[in-house]
Amino acid sequence: MAKVTLSVNGRTVSGDCDDRTLLVQFIREKLGLTGTHVGCDTTQCGACVVHMDGKSIKSCSILAVQASGSEITTIEGLSANGELHPVQAAFKEHHGLQCGFCTPGMVMTAVDMISRHGGALDEATVRHELEGNICRCTGYHNIVKAVLAANAEMHAGRQAAE
Ligand code: FES
Ligand code: FES
């Protein structure tokens, strides 16, 4: 057994778990945050992407004990004041989802991508960086459109604020 203490969506949480408990299991089963999905459990599909210390990671590929002491953001932590995050809003607006199973991972990957590339993000880069996120429904076109639209909006917002 190991004691794990994390900041999750701005709240400090701790709990005991088996040494072999994956971070995604801890998030879903101990914390009840089921927006983070498990599609493969073998680091291929990206449904389990969360942010650890600001960077997107596949939470099925890391043990909960390895994440102890870090700051985790899950899909539940993205919206603020009852408003969708701009990336969530863009997925809605541009029909970037159908069944929605891959969507939390896609959105978390996109938020990290946009924060790293800012206004320089282009379609080829979006497609390249989404290669670790698998969607069985959409054909990806609208997902890519949504990420580019969110990037344009978030970048424009930043420029306006400067
Ligand atoms: S469940 Fe983690 S990559 Fe598929
Ligand atoms: S929307 Fe169904 S798997 Fe992507």
pLDDT one-digit tens code per residue, 87-133:
999 999 999 999 999 999 999 999 999 999 977 899 999 999 999 99
Of 77, 97, 129, the one marking the end of a domain is 77
102 shares a domain with 53: no
pLDDT grade for 157, boundaries at 50, 70 and 90: low
pLDDT one-digit tens code per residue, 17-45:
999 999 999 999 999 999 999 999 899 99
Map residue 118 onto helix, strand or coil.
helix
pLDDT grade for 156, boundaries at 50, 70 and 90: confident
Mutate to test the pocket of ligand 2, among 48, 97, 106 (most ligand atoms within 8 A of CB): 97
Map residue 83 onto helix, strand or coil.
strand
Nearest-atom number in ligand 1 for the CA of 60 is: 2
Half-sphere exposure of 12 (CA within 13 A, CB side): 2
Nearest alpha-carbon partner for 51 in 108, 101, 103:
108
Q: How far is CA 42 from the centre of its chain?
A: 17
| pLDDT above 70 (res 159) | no
CB of 14 shorter than 6 A to ligand 1? no
At residue 119, the pLDDT reads 79
117 shares a domain with 152: yes
The ligand whose atoms approach the alpha carbon of 109 most closely is 1
CB of 60 shorter than 6 A to ligand 1? yes
pLDDT grade for 161, boundaries at 50, 70 and 90: very low
At residue 48, the pLDDT reads 98
Q: How many CB atoms lie within 10 A of CB 43?
A: 12
For the chain, percent helix, then strand, then coil, each to nearest 5? 45, 20, 40
Ligand 2: centre distance to CA 62 (Å): 24
pLDDT one-digit tens code per residue, 39-86:
998 999 999 999 999 999 999 999 999 999 999 999 999 998 999 999
CB of 47 shorter than 6 A to ligand 1? yes
Domain total of the chain: 2
Residue 138: domain span: 86-161
Q: How many CB atoms lie within 10 A of CB 7?
A: 14
Domain at 119, CATH number: 1.10.150.120
